[in-house]
Structure 1
Amino acid sequence: MKPLAFRMRPRTIDEVAGQEHLTGEGKIIRRMTDAKQLSSMILYGPPGTGKTSIAGAIAGSTKYAFRMLNAVTSNKKDMEVVAAEAKMSGKVILLLDEVHRLDKAKQDYLLPFLENGMITLIGATTSNPYHAINPAIRSRCQIFEVKPLSPDAVKTLLIRALEDEERGLGTYKTDVAEEALQYFAEASGGDVRSSLNALELAVISTPADENGIIHVTLEAAEECLQQKSFAHDKDGDAHYDVLSAFQKSIRGSDVNAALHYLARLIEAGDLVSIARRLVVIAYEDIGLASPQAGARTLSAVEAAERLGFPEARIPLANAVVELCLSPKSNSAYKAIDAALSDIRAGRAGEVPAHLKDAHYKSAAKLGRGIDYKYPHDYDNGWIAQQYLPDPLKNKRYYEPKATGKFEQALSGVYEKIQKGKK
């Protein structure tokens, strides 16, 4: 018998659950299906979130022929069979799994059929299509993100499976504890395939009582769904989303959010990414508002690397809390980027003659180093003179922020120097 998740795949668009942003009333896939005016599309999202189900539901609702292939394991001959069927019937919906791995030969064969509309391609992938899919395919498809199902949506599907006598578990007399149902709904992290298959395992592996009733307890649910509720692919697109959220939470001084994303990265065992991102944050987002935070963050990172997990979480948490609650300044980071922008745009100019190297014979004959004023010869170690090239002589790259005592002190010196130049 095929797994419960396979048997319970939606037959029409009305049976799809959890992707209301695509299949709800008035939403794009619902509109295309209702009008029977389909365009090729790419569905991307985590495993078990309904990409194949949506494709099958579209076919079921439109009554078009539906075929499934895999971009890696299916060969060109398999695609020729689909193309022949499309020529005969006029329209075939082709679900192509792992579409991001489609090679050029298969792609070139498919493109004419996509162009004339005989094949409607529904590509499924867990990779971000903007990064992983060939532009020739991508440009001919609409791109839709399929999101992990909410616990409520998963629960709805679990209950539907328990009640369905034709495809589900409705022929069994079951009593699934509410906490067990909730565990199935939450512990898979939005992967409904895992939840359904774990529910089936719990039902068929639990002996019935004297009345023929199968009681599924929380303990049984935990045994049958032992995967962690959190999955993290260090090479996947979601990895960079977590790192981005981690930095933005620290920048926004939200300790609790930052610790949450730190916990996700720790659970993934990704000490390298955590360490690198924390050091960047210390200098990019806290910067001159609290310069000592950089040194302390580096010390925390070195301690974490020496300790390894699980103890590494302790110095990392210390660093995250400090960085979150430190004053913030990106003034130095913005200043160097502004300077780089001028250089890359060709706005540089010649080094002023009095600043040029004069440590060789005849330098004075070339006018180099003449009239240079040695600051240490003057009171307070400073004297007004031009340092920037002529085209940029009045340029201000650094704009201090009054978000920490250290930078406030720097700002006072800086503004005094700027006034002394005039």
Structure 2
Amino acid sequence: MQKPLAYRMRPQTLEDIVGQKHLVGEGKIIRRMVDAKMLSSMILYGPPGTGKTSIASAIAGSTKYAFRALNAATDTKKDLQIVAEEAKMSGTVILLLDEVHRLDKVKQDFLLPHLESGQIILIGATTENPYISINPAIRSRTQIFEVTPLDEEEIKETLLRALNDSNNGLGNESVQIDEQALQHLSRVTNGDVRSALNGLELAVKSTPCQSDGTINLTLPIIEECVQRKSLTHDKDGDAHYDVISALQKSIRGSDADAALHYLARLVEAGDLLSINRRLMVIAYEDIGLANPAAAARTVTAVQAAEKLGFPEARIPLAQVVIDLCLSPKSNSACASIDAALADIRIGKVGDVPPHLKDSHYQGAEQLNRGVAYKYPHDFPNGWVSQQYLPNKLTNVHYYKPKETGKYEQALLHQYCKIQQQKKK
């Protein structure tokens, strides 16, 4: 039985990896490890299909070390012992341990001395946050790297590579894929390479040849194979971003009916990832300090939608869209950080005042670090007048409060009160 396309197209060297340039690009950490032949155990974490296994196999291919793959949940201590014996004989084995967050204490205790000796280079793969889910004993012996979803162009590059590869891919098939179909497949899989390749392979294998022997993949075929509808068959392929933009602008404009319309179009397309991400952006960018509780409710609704999946996810999403539409609006937090960043980027920085500098080291007092600092908690109302901004920015005001919600009205009152005390 032939292995799946996603398996066959797995990178053999670091040069074959598409995406993850922050880890495997020229001069980046994993590339440096491989080039220097100084591998250390690591944990790769990120969403499914983003290349964790691919990086592990590429590291093994680039270093010529033996490569073994196990699953922490289903494989036993005996399986680990076999790998350890092989490591004793060959010198070093790279062990990809999937679902590493489910490694129990017995297996962990067995692995630790082999990690210490360097006989086993562990590459743990997990979708869970390793700082929360991985045992500290393992975590302290590994470097932790985040693997991110591929962007649309990187997915497209991978698909075209598979279509042209005659050894491992679909290059021996005469496949013609419409640009709209390729774009849809690259977009709706949300950075999951495995899903994109699986959808492509199903489309090729299940589509009858034309009279000239070619397999023509159209947008409806791809929609069926990935079970995700295109928002519209527009020529330029901008509809996806247009609808997301319209959703945000409708919420910002407090039009609940329009926002629900655009939400429904995204729900029908099955694009939960884009919906969730955009709603959280909206909650903090457009509602912000006018109603911080709405932001918290948005995060809760997004988490519920992720756990429920479609079709039920539509319910908490609709609820939070209505909530955000009819909430008071404020972009003051977004505008204030952007104003501060604008100053930083033109070099308007200035030195940190001496009394604010770190004083927790020997000799700091002689350097006048932190000497004149006034501890606000020692003063009535927890406030004391002292300079915090650098000298060249003492009169700058980044935060400009709005009065569109009770919460920010209270912040405005406190902000003005502090400014008046400063003037005194």
Q: TM-score range by the shorter chain?
A: 0.5 to 0.7
Is contact 1:254-1:324 (8 Å) kept?
no
Cα shift at 1:74: 0.6
Q: In the alignment, what sits opposite 2:403?
A: 404
The partner residue of 1:317 within 298, 302, 321 is: 321
Is contact 1:287-1:328 (8 Å) kept?
no
- Count of residues paired in the alignment: 312
Instruction: Look up the equivalent residue of 1:115 and give its one-letter code.
Output: E
Q: In the alignment, what sits opposite 2:217?
A: 216
Q: In the alignment, what sits opposite 1:194?
A: 195
Q: In the alignment, what sits opposite 2:70?
A: 69
Q: In the alignment, what sits opposite 1:103?
A: 104
Instruction: Work out the CA distance in 2 between the residues paired with 1:409 and 1:99.
Output: 45
Is contact 2:263-2:318 (8 Å) kept?
no
Distance 1:35 1:205, change over 3 A: same
Instruction: Work out the CA distance in 2 between the residues paired with 1:255 and 1:43.
Output: 41
Uncovered stretches (5+) of structure 2, i.e. residues with no partner: 231-247, 302-311, 334-376, 386-399
Task: List per-residue Cα deviations over 1:238-268 (Å, max 9, x = no partner).
Answer: xxxxxxxxxxx9xxx9999xx899989x958
Q: Secondary structure at the match of 1:223?
A: helix
Q: In the alignment, what sits opposite 1:112?
A: 113
Instruction: Look up the equivalent residue of 1:180 and give its one-letter code.
Output: A
Q: Secondary structure at the match of 1:155?
A: helix
Instruction: Work out the CA distance in 2 between the residues paired with 1:57 and 1:261.
Output: 40
Q: In the alignment, what sits opposite 1:286?
A: 290
Cα shift at 1:285: 3.1
Task: List per-residue Cα deviations over 1:289-309 (Å, max 9, x = no partner).
Answer: xxxx99xx9xxx9xxxxxx98
Q: In the alignment, what sits opposite 1:87?
A: 88
Is contact 1:402-1:408 (8 Å) kept?
no
Q: Secondary structure at the match of 2:381?
A: coil
What is the percentage of aligned positions where both structures have the same residue? 52
Is contact 1:70-1:97 (8 Å) kept?
yes
Q: How does 1:366-377 map to 2 (within 5 A)?
A: none
Is contact 1:174-1:214 (8 Å) kept?
yes
Q: Secondary structure at the match of 2:167?
A: coil
Instruction: Work out the CA distance in 2 between the residues paired with 1:311 and 1:287.
Output: 22
Q: How does 1:388-403 map to 2 (within 5 A)?
A: 394-395=380-381, 403=402
Is contact 2:330-2:402 (8 Å) kept?
no
Runs of 4+ deviating beyond 2 Å? 253-256, 259-264, 284-288, 308-319, 321-324, 326-329, 391-399, 401-412
Q: TM-score, normalised by structure 1?
A: 0.63
Instruction: Work out the CA distance in 2 between the residues paired with 1:134 and 1:83.
Output: 21
Q: Secondary structure at the match of 2:94?
A: strand
Distance 1:221 1:83, change over 3 A: same
Task: List per-residue Cα deviations over 1:87-125 (Å, max 9, x = no partner).
Answer: 001100000000001001100000000001000000000
CA RMSD of aligned residues (A): 4.5
Instruction: Look up the equivalent residue of 2:11 and give its one-letter code.
Output: P
Cα shift at 1:321: 3.8
Q: How does 1:139-150 map to 2 (within 5 A)?
A: 139-150=140-151
Cα shift at 1:312: 6.7
Instruction: Work out the CA distance in 2 between the residues paired with 1:68 and 1:228.
Output: 36
Is contact 1:206-1:214 (8 Å) kept?
yes
Instruction: Work out the CA distance in 1 between the residues paired with 2:215 and 2:413.
Output: 73
Instruction: Work out the CA distance in 2 between the residues paired with 1:311 and 1:409.
Output: 33
Instruction: Work out the CA distance in 1 between the residues paired with 2:82 and 2:410.
Output: 72
Distance 1:13 1:255, change over 3 A: farther
Uncovered stretches (5+) of structure 1, i.e. residues with no partner: 230-248, 302-307, 330-390
Instruction: Work out the CA distance in 2 between the residues paired with 1:124 and 1:98.
Output: 6
Instruction: Work out the CA distance in 2 between the residues paired with 1:313 and 1:145.
Output: 28
Instruction: Work out the CA distance in 1 between the residues paired with 2:158 and 2:105.
Output: 39
Q: In the alignment, what sits opposite 1:50?
A: 51
Task: List per-residue Cα deviations over 1:107-164 (Å, max 9, x = no partner).
Answer: 0000000001000000000001001000100010010111001111111111111111
